[in-house]
Every structure is written in C-alpha cells, then in structure tokens.
A and B are shown apart, each in its own frame.
Chain A
Amino acid sequence: MPLIKGGVFVEDPFFFVPDGKAYPDEKGVIVTLARFQGERDTLFAHRNLVGVRLASNENPAVLKADLHRLAVVVLEFPKFRDGRAFSWARMLRTRFDYKGEIRATGDFLLDQLAFMARTGIDAFEVRQDVTLEQFHHAMTEISHPYQPAADGKKTIRALRAR
C-alpha cells in the first residue's frame, strides 16, 4: 500500500508481520496487539522501531504504559462505516499525549481523510489509485472547523474572538 505522510508519498520504514510469521532482518516491525503483548520485551530488546496494529475493537488504553516506546500505532478501518478508530486516534493524541506516528489502514474513503487528520492520524495507507492532488483536495475542502479536536487547528470560535 502506498503511504502518505507529511503530505507526500514516503517509503514505509515498517514491515507488518502477521501473527505466526517470522520477523524480517531489517526495517521496523508492526505487530498485532496480541503478539505485542506476548513478545513485548524481546521486541523492545532487539528492535529500535516497533509498532502495534490495533483492530477497530481494541482500545489503545491497553498500550498506555508502552506508548513512549512505540514508533507507530496503526489503526484499522475494517469498513469505512466503522468509526471507532476516530476515537482511538483522538485518545492517543489528547489523553495519552502520544507523539509517534498514528497510521490509518484499511477501508476508508477520501472523504474521511480530513476527519482522520483532525483526530490525530498523520499517516495514511491509501489505495494504489489515490493521487496527491486528491489527497490535498480532501484535506482542504473545509477551511475552518467548529470544534476542537487533536490537530490544534484554530476553531471558528477562536477565529471569531480575534
């Protein structure tokens, strides 16, 4: 999957290792929550770049104690209608003060990108046919939000007060 981060396509420094599969020699690794919980200490001992992939029903609160050591948290969108990851992202950023990468993967629409960015997602695994032009268009369709979220964007209320 092509990866967009910082508004451009980037090389993915991580490799997702499904449960039961061997770790690759290089690159950072992303593992499922179950595998992370089973192999946490070994992983941190041997790898600099460790990430965890959460299914949409997995609350990131369980990672709280390890967040400072995680380079990426991947949030799955199994269907674009499943909006739980929007809450997970926002909790990671605003409640747990997580500074690493939050990546979206799975089934989502261009029209959801701006919402994702607002809740704190900063990396996007997009479909092959998505262009940067489409990406930037989706991100800039609405100039000012009404409500605070996790992106620090000035709200309409704050702009009115100026």
Chain B
Amino acid sequence: MYRYDEFDARFVAERVAQFRGQVARRLSGELNEDQFKPLRLMNGLYLQLHAYMLRVAVPYGTLSSKQLRMQAHIARKYDKGYGHFTTRQNIQFNWPKLVDLPDILADLATVEMHAIQTSGNCIRNVTADHFAGAAADEIEDPRPIAEIIRQWSSLHPEFSFLPRKFKIAVGGSPRDRAALKFHDLAIEIVRNDAGETGYKVLVGGGMGRTPYIGYVVGEFVAKPDILAFLEAVMRVYNEQGRRDNIYKARIKILANALGAEEMRRQTLAEFEEIRKAGTLRVPQEELDRIDSYFKPPAFENLTDEMPKGDADFANWLKSNVSTHRMPGYAIATISLKPIGGVPGDATAEQMDALADLMDQHGIAEIRVSHEQNLVLPHVRKKDLPVIHARLKELGLATPNAGLITDIIACPGLDYCDLANARSIPIAQKISERFADLDRQHHIGELKIKISGCINACGHHHAGHIGILGVDKKGVEYYQLQLGGSGAEDASIGEILGPGFGKDEIADAVERVIGAYLDLRNDGERFLDTYRRVGIVPFKNVAYQDQLHAAY
C-alpha cells in the first residue's frame, strides 16, 4: 500500500498544526461557528445532534493492521469504544471532544492517516472498489489512480470552495463494486482496441433529493492526461455550478441542465487548453512510481483447494468468500451486520483483534467496503477455517454478505443533525425479521438500503429495496423504493407510494418479498423479477390492509 515519504508526512503534520490553530481560534472565540464551520468541515469535523463527529479518511478504503489498531485506540481513548464504517469507506467517531481533536489528528498522523477533505464543499476522499487488486475480473488495480487523485486534490487552491461537495470513485473491473454511476465523478479503468488501458470518465451521478445516473464525458482518457481532464471538469463545475440553492448545487444538476453533449463540449475545450499548458501531465515515471506501492503481495504457489468445515463454515463460504484472481487464495468479507446490530459499527476490541488476525496470517491490508463491511483481500484458502473460527468468536462471522440482512443504513436520527427519521432501528427490525439463514438463502441476493433523510447517505435510491425515512408532522414514516441498483446495471429505485409507519415498514418489506417469491422465475434475483414485472404487483400487496397507516 501507499507509504508516506517525508513530503507527505510534513504535509499532514503541517495540516494538523494548522487545524490546531483553527481550533484554538474557535475556542477563544476569535472565530464564530459560521466561520469555523467550513474550516472544521475540511478536516472532517461535523457538529451533530449530541456532539461533534469526526470522519477519518480511509483513502480508497485500504487500512494496514497498524492503522486499524489506531482506530481502536481512538475509539477507546477519545470516544465510547466503537467506530462506525461508512458508505464512503471512511470511519466515523461519534463522541470526540473539540479540545481533543488536534491530539486525535496528531495520533492519526503517526500512522499516516488524517481527516483531510472528508467533508466540506471540496474534493472528498476518493473511494475505490473494495476488491481492488484481488478481484478475478479486474483489468487493473484502481488504487494507484486514486492515490494520484488524493495527492492532486489535497488542499487544491482552486477547488476547495466549490458550490458543493464533490465525490470521486474509481473502479478497475467491468463489475462495478464502487457505485460509480452514483458519483459526482467516476473513473473506470478500461482497455481499448489496441490493448492499452486508460480511463473512462463519468460525471453527474448522485443521490440526494434529485438522483441521477452519471454519463460518460471521456470515453478513453490517456493515463498521463487524467489530472488535466479532472481539472477541466472541476473548472466547468466551479464556474457554473449553482450557488444560489444548496439543493441544486451538486454537479449532477449542472450536468443535467447542460446535457451530455454540451458538458462534453465544454469539458473537452477546457481540457485541450489545460493539456496545452502541460503542467498537469502525469509522466510515466510517476505513474510507475505510484503503481509500485500497490504491487500485490508475493503470492505463494498454492493448490486451489477449498477446505471443508462445519455447516457454519459452509454458510460463510457461500456468502462471504469471493473468487480471488490467484489460485489458492480467496477474498473474505467480514460482515459488520450482525442480526439486530448497528450496520457498520465495530468495537475497539473487534478492531484490535482483527489487526492481530491480519498479522498472524500475513494479511497486510484490510478494506472497508461502501456496503459498510470489511474485506480481507488476500487470504490463503487453507487459512479460511481458522480465520472463520476466530471471526465467530469476535461476533464477526455473520454469513450474510449480499443477503437481505446485509443492510446499509445511515446513522439517521439517532446521531445525525440532518435526519428526519431513525434508520438504525428499522435496519435492526428488518434484520431480526429475516434472521433465519435458510430463508435468507431462499430469497437470494437482495440489497436493502436505508436513509433517514432525503440526503440519501444510506443510498436508498440504489437499493433493490430502498427505504427513506420522512417526517410528517413530527411522526416518522418510511417510503419504500423498489428496483434501484448501485452496480454496473445502475438504476434509480421507483417510489412505491405513501410511507409506512415505523411499526409497519418491516411488514411491508416482508409482503414485497412474499410477492417476489411468488413471481420469480428460476434464477431470478429480486431485482431481475422487479425489472420483468414492474412495480404494480408489489404495490398491490405492500399496502394490503395498512392504507390507513399511510399518509
């Protein structure tokens, strides 16, 4: 993985010192909250319902065991003993004190981590496919370009006060595991007819109150030109993105207003000018230098045999273990979705124990997935039984990756200042309702995603079943959306109709599932059946005798 050199280390240390000064100015009253806000946001610090919340950047979702241990340390020393992994592959701490913040950041800096640009109207921490470097279907590891973008975007003088936040994701496989089409900007590594690899660039995707699927602005951008291309997109956005209305300020609104053709024309015109100047060209030596940090581990020559185990192990293999590109290796997903638990939470003890497990089995890195799970990318198949046994002891072996209880949920009204409704209790209720594993397998792949407000941090638009919490005169209601997908077949879910009460939503989900099981053809996922039959059959059963509960 990437290692800081003296320049990176100095940059982060200076940024910590700078933030220490900003905190001191806030504490002394020199800065008021309005002035402090954009400064703290650029360092990942939110003011939530009950306390400050710190969002720590996990660049492209990759952590070493040492870095994971540091998260445990921070959870224990400065917080309430746990951390929360997010849909942007970051980790959040919900209870830090403002006065401790500079020390937390200094601790993070000792393991080459920070909270730079995890919030604010700037280019956010870049996310990547969590199977990067391990997936069997990968063209190229997307993390080197993510690292190049991290460096270029860090304290970018021109693009740190954008109309609104700007999220970039990168992927290197035809299978999209990074929700590329729902990002402000996405980069997909592709191969052209000549066999060269380059970048397909999409813009204008997004969730929130007006969801859009991104479109292509660059079919094949040559590698040395990628930063010039990105600056072109950013400049078009910075100059023309709306600043009069926060809800219309994301690039998706501009991209939709201009249309694909005009957006491409302006981007390419700007790109040509920037390319002419030449200063943003990424030379081959630099591409090679960054690539070298992401070399795969020295794989052993192993027989490709899957070990046997008990029924629990077999169930875990079935859902949580994926095909690796090397024989004898596997990718293991560690579910942070125990039945009835809080999606994405991990305790300090679990994080420490996972770090030990990594060290014991020579696993250099762990990944955070946008589905709020953790991933061990390079595991010897023969080690799987002992790893599984240990995960089981830690409460981390829930065999539900990709199943109905593998629910994404935002923090919701339990924590978040913006939320209209709670998300976590709904996730817990649905998880308990479908706890039976045979039933989960019978239902098959199903992605439920829950957001506690229209901002859609829980990705409800992209859920096979999406749930949106709304507030109606002080009462929480939940709207169902069906047919969304955050994968390569991206689609935006369709709203079923009026919302359900908090005690009815799990019933409604169950009836929708019932309808799917009745309607499905052999081998069809929920999403496939939905796409074949449309929303009506589901609508007919979802409300049943509960129309009185709807508003």
Contacts and interface: CB of A to CB of B under 8 A. Distances in A.
Interface in A47-103: 59, 80-84, 86-87, 90, 94-95
Nearest to B31: A109
A144 B161 contact: no
A136 interface: no
Interface residues of B, number: 37
A148 B283 CA distance: 14
Nearest to B8: A156
Interface in B459-483: none
B14 A86 contact: no
Interface stretch (B151-159, B385-393, B447-455): B151-159
B157 A80 contact: no
Interface in B130-179: 151-162
Interface string B99-134: 000000000000000000000010000000000000
Contact of A160 (B5, B14, B160, B239): B5
A86 B161 contact: yes
Contact of B160 (A115, A141, A157): A115
A87 to B, nearest CB: 5
Contacts of A148: 279-280
Contacts of B235: 87
Contact of A109 (B10, B11, B35): B35
A109 B39 CA distance: 10
Contact of A86 (B7, B157, B277, B279): B157
A144 B13 CA distance: 12
Contact of A146 (B14, B151, B159): B151
A114 B235 CA distance: 19
Contacts of B38: 80-81, 109
Contacts of A118: 157
A156 B4 CA distance: 12
B238 A145 contact: no
A112 interface: yes
Contacts, number: 95
A159 interface: yes
Interface string B13-31: 0110110011000000000
A54 to B, nearest CB: 12
B243 interface: yes
Nearest to B277: A94
Contacts of A39: none
Interface string A108-133: 01011011101100000000000000
A42 interface: no
A86 B18 CA distance: 21
A69 to B, nearest CB: 23
Contacts of B159: 83, 86
Given A82-B243, A144-B11, A149 B238 contact: no
B308 to A, nearest CB: 50
B286 interface: yes
Given A84-B239, A94-B277, A144 B160 contact: no
A147 B11 contact: no
A118 B154 CA distance: 13
B506 to A, nearest CB: 41
Nearest to A116: B157
Interface of B: 5, 7-8, 10-11, 14-15, 17-18, 21-22, 35, 38-39, 121, 151-162, 227, 235, 238-239, 243, 273, 277, 279-280, 286
Given A83-B238, A111-B18, A145-B155, 14 more contacts: A80-B161, A83-B161, A86-B157, A86-B161, A116-B157, A142-B15, A143-B10, A143-B11, A144-B10, A145-B157, A146-B155, A156-B11, A157-B286, A160-B7
16 contacts: A59-B239, A81-B161, A82-B243, A83-B159, A84-B239, A86-B157, A86-B159, A86-B160, A86-B161, A87-B235, A112-B161, A115-B158, A118-B157, A144-B11, A147-B156, A147-B227
A-B pairs with the 9 shortest C-beta distances? A83-B161, A118-B157, A115-B157, A148-B279, A156-B7, A146-B151, A86-B158, A141-B18, A147-B152
